[in-house]
Amino acid sequence: MARFPFRRTGRSGFVAIAIGSLLVALSLPIRGQTVSPAPAPQRQLAYPPGTTAGLLEIALVLFGGLLLLSLLDRVLNRRADRAGDASLAQEARALRQLRIGYPEGMTFLEQLREQRLLEQRFGPLGLSVSWFPYPSASSLLSDLASGRIDFCGGGGTASLFSQAAGHLFVRVAREKYPDLQGEAILVPEGSPIRSLPDLRGRRVAFDEGSSAHYVLIRALQIVGLDYDDVEPVLLPQSEALPLFERGELDAWVVWMPYAPTGFRRRYPGRSIADLNGILGDAAGQEVPTLYYATPELVRDNPRVLKAILEEVNEAGVAYNVRQLERAESLATGGDDEDGIDPETMEALRQRVLERAILPIDEPTLRSLQHQVQVLHDRRLIPSRVNVFDGSFSLRTRQNWTY
128 by DSSP, 3-state: which?
Answer: strand
Q: What is the pLDDT of residue 30?
A: 41
In a domain, 400, yes or no: no
Examine the domain organization and report whether 164 and 190 are in the same domain: no
Which band of pLDDT confidence, cut at 50, 70 and 90, is reported for residue 9? very low
In a domain, 352, yes or no: yes
**Whether pLDDT at 91 is above 70:** yes
Section 283-299 average pLDDT: 93
Kindly list the distances between the CA atom of residue 42 and the CA atoms of 35, 49, 54, 386, in Å, as whole numbers in the listed order.
16, 18, 19, 78
Cβ proximity of 220 and 276 under 8 Å: no
Find the domain containing 241 and state its range. Answer: 183-284
Mean pLDDT of the chain: 81
Q: What is the pLDDT of residue 336?
A: 47
**Whether pLDDT at 23 is above 70:** no
In a domain, 310, yes or no: yes
Examine the domain organization and report whether 164 and 221 are in the same domain: no
Q: What is the pLDDT of residue 16?
A: 46
Section 307-322 average pLDDT: 93
Which band of pLDDT confidence, cut at 50, 70 and 90, is reported for residue 289? very high
Examine the domain organization and report whether 142 and 159 are in the same domain: yes
Which band of pLDDT confidence, cut at 50, 70 and 90, is reported for residue 266? low
In a domain, 204, yes or no: yes
**Whether pLDDT at 17 is above 50:** no
Section 21-49 average pLDDT: 48
Residues 6+ apart with CB under 8 A from 327: 338, 340, 344, 345, 348
Nearest to 319 by CA among 177, 180, 183, 184: 177
> What percentage of the chain has pLDDT greater than the value 70?
75
The secondary structure of 180-249 as a DSSP string is TTSEEEEE-TT-S--SGGGGTT-EEEE-TTSHHHHHHHHHHHHTT--GGGSEEEE--HHHHHHHHHTT--
- Comparing 277 with 249, which gets the higher pLDDT? 249
Cβ proximity of 266 and 159 under 8 Å: no
Residues 6+ apart with CB under 8 A from 88: 125, 303, 304, 307
- Comparing 318 with 281, which gets the higher pLDDT? 318
Nearest to 199 by CA among 249, 129, 266, 143: 249
Rounded to whole angstroms, the Cα distance separating 400 from 402 reads 7
Rounded to whole angstroms, the Cα distance separating 4 from 138 reads 32
Cβ proximity of 316 and 104 under 8 Å: no
Cβ proximity of 270 and 189 under 8 Å: yes
Cβ proximity of 316 and 356 under 8 Å: yes
* Residue where a domain stops, chosen among 284, 304, 337: 284
In a domain, 270, yes or no: yes
Q: What is the pLDDT of residue 50?
A: 58
Nearest to 289 by CA among 159, 161, 398, 399: 159
**Whether pLDDT at 291 is above 70:** yes
Q: Is the dihedral angle over the CA atoms 359, 363, 367, 369 positive or is it negative?
A: positive
* Residue where a domain stops, chosen among 284, 302, 317: 284
Examine the domain organization and report whether 200 and 242 are in the same domain: yes
Rounded to whole angstroms, the Cα distance separating 327 from 217 reads 33
Residue 41 CA, chain-centre distance (Å), reads 70
Examine the domain organization and report whether 126 and 113 are in the same domain: yes
Rounded to whole angstroms, the Cα distance separating 259 from 277 reads 13
DSSP type of residue 393: B
Separation of first and last alpha carbons in the chain: 18
Examine the domain organization and report whether 114 and 169 are in the same domain: yes
Please work out, in degrees rounded to the nearest 5, the angle formed at the alpha carbon of residue 172 by the alpha carbons of 167 and 175: 115
In a domain, 19, yes or no: no
**Whether pLDDT at 132 is above 60:** yes
In a domain, 44, yes or no: no
Q: What is the pLDDT of residue 265?
A: 58
**Whether pLDDT at 14 is above 50:** no
Order the strands of the 251-255 sheet from edge to edge: 231-234, 203-206, 251-255, 183-187, 270-274
Q: What is the pLDDT of residue 138?
A: 76
* Residue where a domain stops, chosen among 255, 284, 313: 284
Examine the domain organization and report whether 360 and 216 are in the same domain: no
Interaxial angle between packed helices 137-146 and 156-164, expressed in degrees from 0 to 180 and rounded to the nearest 10: 50
Q: What is the pLDDT of residue 5?
A: 36
The pLDDT tens digits of the residues spanning 219-234 come to: 999 999 999 999 999 9
Which residues in 85-110 are b (16+ Cβ under 10 Å) and which e?
eeebbebbeebeebbbbbbebbbbbb
**Whether pLDDT at 20 is above 80:** no
Residues 6+ apart with CB under 8 A from 73: 12, 13, 16, 17
Examine the domain organization and report whether 225 and 305 are in the same domain: no
Rounded to whole angstroms, the Cα distance separating 71 from 388 reads 44
Examine the domain organization and report whether 362 and 322 are in the same domain: yes
Examine the domain organization and report whether 211 and 259 are in the same domain: yes
Is residue 48 exposed (0-12), middle (13-18) or buried (19+ Cβ within 10 Å)? Answer: exposed
In a domain, 401, yes or no: no
Q: What is the pLDDT of residue 31?
A: 44
The pLDDT tens digits of the residues spanning 163-218 come to: 999 999 999 999 998 777 778 999 999 999 999 999 999 999 999 999 999 999 99
Q: What is the pLDDT of residue 109?
A: 94
The CATH number linked to 280 is 3.40.190.10
- Specify the number of domains making up the chain: 3
The pLDDT tens digits of the residues spanning 33-42 come to: 444 454 555 5
Examine the domain organization and report whether 153 and 194 are in the same domain: no
Examine the domain organization and report whether 336 and 251 are in the same domain: no
